[in-house]
Amino acid sequence: MPQSGTGVSVEAVDPVFQTKMLDMLKQTGRPEMVVGWYHSHPGFGCWLSSVDVNTQQSFEQLNPRAVAVVVDPIQSVKGKVVIDAFRSINPQQVMMGIEPRQSTSNVGHLQQPSIQALIHGLNRHYYSIAIAYRKTDLEQSMLLNLHKKDWTEGLKLRDWQAMKKENEESIKRMLQLAQTYTASVKEEATLTPQQLKTRHVGKQDPKRHLEEAVEKAMGDSIVQSLGTMLSLGAL
């Protein structure tokens, strides 16, 4: 779909194109039925904004069973993908007291909603769907071997000038993060409990980034020192 986006929002440019998208696909020899759409929220979690809800409602006009999938590649880690699927809730059915969700048993499959999703209208304007996806043995082996390091990787010495420059940049960054974290701690005294839960939404958490920077700097220095000692001993 033709869209324009910024760092915090994405909006459809041509809604007429979206409504006639199926006809255009048939003209190109692709008779597939559109069953949904997907997009990413890097670092923000899985939820739908007001623009996303409107987009999902327009997709449900094309196909009543259309699904909106949201992926967070930043919070995802190896072996666990932060992903969720949503469908919109018809406000007319809510006013009439009709339950839009028809299901048998979701026990053991429902995910605990985050505070960000609840703030953005989860279970009021849209609801979450249980997701199940599987990988074959070959796919599982491929993903586990992705970026796999050999045991000799830790014995390789890095260039000392590059290491020195990186350490200096890390120290400067840690100093900035420490100052930001100090200001954040002072700010906590003036916030309400509700504001404390969402104060890092869409922002950098200085405490977490400071911990990661310290651990990385210490780990790189220890590996470099041990590699140097082993190299001197071997010579």
Residues 207 and 133 in one domain: no
Q: Could you tell me if residue 123 is inside a domain?
A: yes
- Show the domain range for 132: 3-139
The per-residue pLDDT for 201 is 64
The predicted-structure confidence for 45-54, as pLDDT tens digits, reads as follows 888 988 888 8
The predicted-structure confidence for 169-182, as pLDDT tens digits, reads as follows 999 999 998 998 88
Tell me, yes or no, if the pTM score tops 0.85. no
Please say which residue of 139, 172, 205 terminates a domain. 139
Q: How confident is the model at residue 86 (pLDDT cuts 50, 70, 90)?
A: very high
Per DSSP, 67 falls in state E
Residues 95 and 171 in one domain: no
Residue 171, CB-side half-sphere exposure with 13 Å CA sphere = 7
Please say which residue of 113, 139, 165 terminates a domain. 139
What's the one-letter identity of residue 171? Answer: I
- Which has the higher per-residue pLDDT, 22 or 42? 42
- Which has the higher per-residue pLDDT, 112 or 190? 190
Query: Residue 13 belongs to a domain with what CATH number?
Result: 3.40.140.10
Give Cα separations from 75 to 34, 111, 115, 184 (angstroms): 28, 16, 15, 22
- Which has the higher per-residue pLDDT, 225 or 106? 225
Element counts in the chain: helices (H) and strands (E): 9, 6
Residues 39 and 116 in one domain: yes
The per-residue pLDDT for 175 is 92
Residue 72 confidence (pLDDT) above 60 = yes
Q: Could you tell me if residue 90 is inside a domain?
A: yes
Q: Could you tell me if residue 145 is inside a domain?
A: no
